[in-house]
Structure 1
Amino acid sequence: MIDLLLILTAIANGAPPAQPAAQAAAAPVAAAATAAPPPAMTASSGQMAPAPADAPKYRAESQVPTGKFTTATEVRPILDATRANWVAVREYDGKDLVYLTHLLSWRCGLVAIQVGLNGGPLEDWPMEECHEGTGSPNALTGDATLIYHSYPPSSVQTITVEITYDDLTADTATFDRNGAMIP
């Protein structure tokens, strides 16, 4: 545990310095200017109209390191170094259980996780909200999201995971059943 804390501290201390105040203040304005406009309100119904089909799904977030591992800048080095732990498969009670516990534990620097099984299409994996403003923003409370999904026995052969960081960069990895199995 102490080794992990030392590694995380080293990563945090190696992060780029915070932007000067003038640049930091301009960053959210620049991000907002490049992001998709909000959905239009229709005059007659007061309902929000859907965003245009070509509008981006997510908006890039500020990358000023917080020291709490809540930005892509802070969690990317950890997820790069621990890629082999992104996913786990376990046979239990006659089912294949696919776990994303590791990724969910670092979700505050992510905006999306998508998973595809056996070469199938990628599907969104729900994530619990980040608990900003608390001492443990990445804590999993178990209130909102399962850390695993279950599938028929021996049906999971490969798992493709795509993560989208909150700076809107993405990373993908594919795991085979044998390499991801846990007892």
Structure 2
Amino acid sequence: MFQSFRRRIALLLTAPLLLAAPAEADPPFTTAAEVKPILAVTRANWISVREFNGQDLVYVTHLWSWRCGLARIRLAINDGGYEIWPLPPCHLDQAAPNSILEEDGSPYRAFAIGSVEKIEIEVTYDDMTVESQVVNRLGQPISP
């Protein structure tokens, strides 16, 4: 009987804690610490080249999909110099802040058909660390 009484008291004391609303948390995957491990294991997906309508389209959709943990992306096509490819804003007011909305624009650029042979990619995270790689048009790593 005494055990039962103690359980009831414990339940009464903890009930308000169980009923309290959970604290608002920051949306996930919005910092370098959260995004780095994902981009590390998906390096082969950082960019994509698609031949379409007589052009090479270079897509950065995968990087855009994790942009909330990024500060900047730069690409160099073939032996050209690096260019900053703007990132759309992180939509912290949305349930999925990394969502690509229509107003974000297109995550690709067009080049002459068959012209894209080598892509140098540099990713700067919001903690200012940098990772880079060089890939061929199939996304396979190559030596710089």
- With structure 1 as the length reference, what TM-score do the two structures score? 0.60
Q: Which residues of structure 1 form unaligned runs of 5+? A: 1-64
Secondary structure (helix, strand or coil) at the match of 1:103 reads: helix
1:159 and 1:117 mapped to 2: Cα distance? 5
Query: Which of 104, 125, 128 does residue 168 from structure 1 map onto?
Result: 128
The one-letter amino acid paired with 1:156 is V
Secondary structure (helix, strand or coil) at the match of 2:39 reads: helix
1:112 and 1:129 mapped to 2: Cα distance? 11
Query: Does the 8 Å contact 1:159/1:177 carry over to 2?
Result: yes
Q: Which residues of structure 2 form unaligned runs of 5+? A: 1-24
1:93-112 equivalent positions in 2, closer than 5 A = 93-112=53-72
Does residue 101 of structure 2 align to residue 141 of structure 1?
yes
Identity %: 46
Over 3 Å counting, the alpha-carbon distance change for 1:77 and 1:173 in structure 2 is: same
Instruction: Work out the number of aligned pairs and report it.
Output: 116
The Cα offsets for residues 79-102 of structure 1, whole Å up to 9 and x where unpaired, read as 000000000001111100000110
Select the structure that is richer in strand: 2
Does residue 46 of structure 2 align to residue 73 of structure 1?
no
- Show structure 1 runs of 4+ deviating over 6 A: none
Greater C-alpha Rg: 2
The one-letter amino acid paired with 1:178 is L
**CA shift at 1:131, angstroms?**
0.5
The Cα offsets for residues 73-123 of structure 1, whole Å up to 9 and x where unpaired, read as 000000000000000001111100000110000000001010100021110
- Across the aligned residues of Structure 1 and Structure 2, the Cα RMSD in angstroms comes to 1.5
The one-letter amino acid paired with 2:113 is P
Larger relative contact order (CA 8 Å, sep ≥ 6) = 2
